[in-house]
Structure 1
C-alpha cells in the first residue's frame, strides 16, 4: 500500500482516483454482444458463454430438481447461517414500507402517493471465482417483500456447467424458482431484451465486474432501469489511535480480496497507527487463500495521513466510499459530519463483513463515487410510486384561477381551457 503523508487539498482529486478502464472500448464490446442477443437469442448466450468462459452448456434454465437437490449439497452449518442472515435482512427491509397519507394541499384538493411493486425484475449474481450466494439473499428478499410478480436470476456457471449449490439453495430459501446459468454482458442483455428462454425485465439489480457494469449502464440508456452503477468494491477506514490495528488491517483485506480492481484506503490523523496497520496487513495477507488477488488490489490502495479528524472527514466525503468504517473515540461527532457513503460501520466491533452477510443492511451499494448521489439497494428499490389527486368542485373553484393564470403565461391555451370549461360548468349549475 502506498503511504501518503499530509497531502495538500489541491492534490486530493489525483490521490483519490479509482482504478480506471477504457469505457469506450468496453461499450463497443457490449454493443456487439447486445446486437447478437437481439438477433439470435439463446444461441448468442451459448456462444459467448463458450467464448468468455470456455464452458459449454445445453440448458440455460436450471431445473427444479437441481434447485431442490442443492439442499443436500451444502452443510447444515451454512444452511443455519443463511437462515440467520435471511431473518435479519427480512426484518430490516420489512420495516422500510413507505407510508401513504392523503394531503389536502388546498381545501378540496387531495393528493397522495401509492407504492406499487415493479412487476418484473432481474437479479445478477456474480458466481465466477467467488460465488456470491449472499447477494441472492440481499436482492431476493426485498424483491419478494415488495411483491414483484416475476423474479429472474442469472448467474454464471462453474467449469462443470453447473451453478454453485449455495446460490441455488439461497434461491430456494427466498422463493426464486427461475434461475439461469448465464453470466457477464450476455446475462444483462438477456434480461434486458429477452430471449426464447429468458424473459425480459423492467429493472436489473446486482453487482458485477467492469463488463457487467458497462452492460448495465448501456441497457439503462435504452429504457431498462438499473439499481445503480455498481462496480469494483471499495472501503475507506477512518481511524484514530483508539482503533485496533489488527481490526483495521482485516477490514482493508476483506475488501482487497474481492478483486484486483478493488480499492482500499485508510485515512488517519494518528501517525503511530500507520506502521502498525502496515505490519498487520503483511501478517494477515500471508494467510489468505486469495492472497494473489488481494496483493493486486493493494497496489491500487493507500494509507493517507492527515492533520486532523476534520480534514479526514472532508477527504472521505470527497471520495464518497461504498463502505465507510469509523473507528474513532468521538463517534457521535463524526456521524453528524458524514455526507457521502454507501454504508457506514461504527466502532471497533462492527466489521464490514457483517453488512456483507448477516446484520440486515443491504450490501448492494454505490461505488466509484456514486454514493454522492445514489443510495444502496432497499425495499423501495423494488417499488415505484404513483401519485394520485382528487379535486372537488369547491377545490377547483379555489385552485382553478391560479392554474388559468399560469397556463396563460406559458401560452398553453388548451391547458387553461381544461380548467375554464369546468369552472364555467360549476358556475352555471349554481
Structure 2
C-alpha cells in the first residue's frame, strides 16, 4: 500500500467541500481537536449571541423576553432544526432536559405502550447511564420489569415476543461500532417490539433515518457533534403515531395543556409538547441554537463521506507510522460499520492520552484501556490527522507516557 505523506493530506483538504465550514468555529492555535464526540468546539457565533441575550433580552427586557424574544418557543424551534439531522419531521423532535431524563421518560412511555410485556432489551456496550435509567425505572415500577443485556452482535437474535422495548445506542461510545438501525427496527416491528435509540454519537456526524426506518422513540445529546456547549440540553424524538398514545411519567407544568391556567389537575398537551417538563433553560438553548446553525447549508452525505475518509486515514497512518508500539485497533476497520471515531487499545492508554494532550492533540480515554479519537467533519482537516499521528508516534517511540504526571487520574478522563 502506498505511503501517505502530509502533502497528500493537504491536497485532500484543498478538495474538501466542507472546508469552508471550519471558519464557523473558534479553534485554538496549536491544538488538534479530536474530541468533538465528547464536547463540540465553540461556534464563533455563540459568544455574541449569549452576550446579546444576557445584556439586552434578559437585562433590558426582563420577563417580557418570554414573549418578545420567543423564549417559550425554543424547545420546538430547536427541535425543528434538529429534525432534518435525524431524519424526522419538525413536530417529532423536542429539545428539553438531559439525555438521561429523556431516556427515563421515553422508556416509560414505551413500556406503557406495550403493557403486556415486561422485558427491556439492551446490549452490553450501551452507555451506562441509559442502563442505569432502565434499572431505576424497573425498580420504580415494581411490576416485574427487568433489563436484559446481550452482546451487541446478539441483539437481532434475541428480539422476540417477550421483549417490550429494545433500547440501543446507534454508535458505541467506546469503539464507534455502529448498529444497523434499519435491520433492527424491521425485526423489532415483526415481533411487536418497540425501539428506543440513543443518538448521542451519531446525530450531527452522520445521516440518521428515524422515520424511514420506522423508529418509535429516540434521544440525543446537544453538546457533542451538535456543538451546543458543556451540558447543553438534549433532545427527544417521538414518532407521530405515539405522541398522543404513549404516556410519559413526569407531569410538568410545561407539558400541561394550559400551563398558565395553573390548574391543580394535570391535563397533557397535544402532540410532542406533552413530553416537556419544566421551564426551558433559555441561555443554554440559545447556545445550542448557535451550534445547530453551524449546519446551515451542509449536506449530511458529505459529512458522512468525510467522516469515513478521516477515520480510514487515521487507521492507515497508524499502521504506517506506529506499528510495534502496543496499539491495537478497537474499532471496526470497515468504515460502514463504525460511526465518526476510531479507538485504539493500549496497556497504558490513559497515560498515552495525557501525553498526547500535553502536546496539543486532544482526544480522550475510556476505561479500561481505550484511546478515543473523534472526527468532526465540519472543522477537522485531513492534515490534522497526519499531524496527530506524527505526535502519537513520538509519544510512543520516546515513551513520554511513562512520565509520572501522566499517570495521575483526573476526575474526567
TM-score (ref. length: structure 1): 0.29
Please give the TM-score of this superposition, normalised by the length of structure 2: 0.30
